[in-house]
A = this chain, B = another copy of it.
Amino acid sequence: MPQPLAGLVVLDLTHVLAGPFASMTLADLGARVIKVERPGTGDDTRTFPPFKSGKSAYFAAINHGKASIALDLKAEDDRATFERLVARADIILENYRPGVMEKLGYGWDDLSSRFPRLIYGAVSGFGHTGPDAKRPAYDMVVQARGGVMSITGEAGREPVRVGASIGDIVAGMYLAQGVLAALYDRERTGRGRKIDISMLDSQLAILEHAVAITSVTGKPPGPTGARHPSIAPFETFHASDGLFVIAAGNDKLFEKLCLALMLPIADDPRFATNAARCENARLLKRLIEAVTLENTRSYWIQKLTAAGIPNAPIQNIDQVMHDPQILARNMVVDVLDRNGRKAFVAAGNPIKISGVEDRSSRGPAPDLDGNRGEILRWLDGE
């Protein structure tokens, strides 16, 4: 069975991470992605470390399998090429600051009147409306302004960023969602739509419990280290040789945990409900650690797993990339070079779809302007 987006063409003017992450998802779902880059330098991430054989592994991790053509959208010839590409595209993606596409004559209104089926996906720091629409942003900017830094880290210490660039990535994921919804809609209406994603909006959208707490109590939560603020026990615990995680998210699991630890507190009113356990979380942690400190992580992980209690080691990235479950799920894929040899590895596609092949390799990350010839031939109808 072909991939769900097979046959669709994405014209991708985005750079850095949020937009390219969205087009990577669309490519993983079967779309053909043509990256339109600035002549001379191309996507900024081509210069981001680490490098292998002079090429950025960072760039490769996000841009594998895409084609590249360098176009100066202010030059007459290149504009003509660009417009021929738009005419063939189902989806155009851009992450310029609001107004830039309009100045080029390629704003949503212009494109939509010429190409009514075109879907236009934009991702920007703050969105295309509102007082700060034109301000520039990067991941760190929206992690800070969007609140996630204020709830990440240890109480009483400086805030830290989330180690993954969720300021970009979550916005890219919402862009992909919006584009997919518009594709479904277009099947029935025959018309494209504009999707306007703001990185700042996207940060607020993932704060769930923090929004609930702030709106009900009036007090914004602070960072809680490794502990979930609304569920207990749900955090790291010390074993004799280091930390591991126990996550007993409901009363039944807590009872099982007490049994496994031989800790007779399941009926104690201080711990009988999740709400009570949250109020007495500090005490609960000490009672549990008084037991877990007496044995190793692997002892407890084996014991709690056998008892059906969610738990985990804290793995570094190398361990994750060699985790048997991750490998069994084809979540580490090879990125090939132009000669079909393995050049990089990248994360696989987490969207597993019945009947659709889950490929274990990806095409190369493109050289800047590296696919100009084939793209022009395709436009000429070869």
Chain A contact-residue range equals 35 or more
Determine the chain B residues whose CB is within 8 A of the CB of A317 once the complex forms: 147, 150-151, 207, 210-211, 213-214, 220-221
List 18 additional contacts besides A51-B216, A193-B356; criterion CB under 8 Å.
A48-B230, A60-B212, A127-B352, A131-B328, A136-B253, A138-B249, A139-B228, A148-B164, A149-B226, A162-B163, A164-B206, A174-B351, A196-B354, A200-B326, A201-B352, A205-B349, A205-B350, A220-B316
Are B162 and A216 in contact, with the CB atoms below 8 A? no
The 10 closest A-B pairs by CB, nearest first: A151-B163, A130-B328, A180-B180, A57-B212, A194-B354, A138-B247, A147-B320, A152-B163, A187-B187, A220-B317
Give every chain B residue within 8 A of A201 (Cβ-Cβ): 326, 329, 331, 348, 350, 352
Question: Interface readout for A132-174 with B: 1 if CB under 8 Å, 0 if not?
Answer: 1001111111111111111111100111111111100111011
By the criterion CB–CB under 8 Å, are A177 and B25 in contact? yes
A96 CB → nearest B CB, Å: 14
Q: Is A101 an interface residue (CB 8 A)?
A: no
- Interfacial chain B residues near A131, Cβ < 8 Å: 324-325, 328
Closest CB in chain B relative to A122 CB, distance in Å = 9
Q: For residue A308, which residues in chain B have a CB less than 8 angstroms away from its CB?
A: 136
Of B61, B207, B355, which one neighbours A164 at CB under 8 angstroms? Answer: B207
Residue in B29, B223, B228 whose CB lies within 8 Å of A165: B228
Check B61–A178 contact: CB distance below 8 A: no
Which residues from 176 to 210 on chain A have a C-beta closer than 8 Å to any C-beta of chain B?
176-178, 180-185, 187-189, 193-198, 200-210
Q: Is the CB of A132 within 8 A of B250?
A: no
Do A173 and B164 contact each other (CB < 8 Å), given the known contacts A226-B158, A316-B220, A347-B207? Answer: no
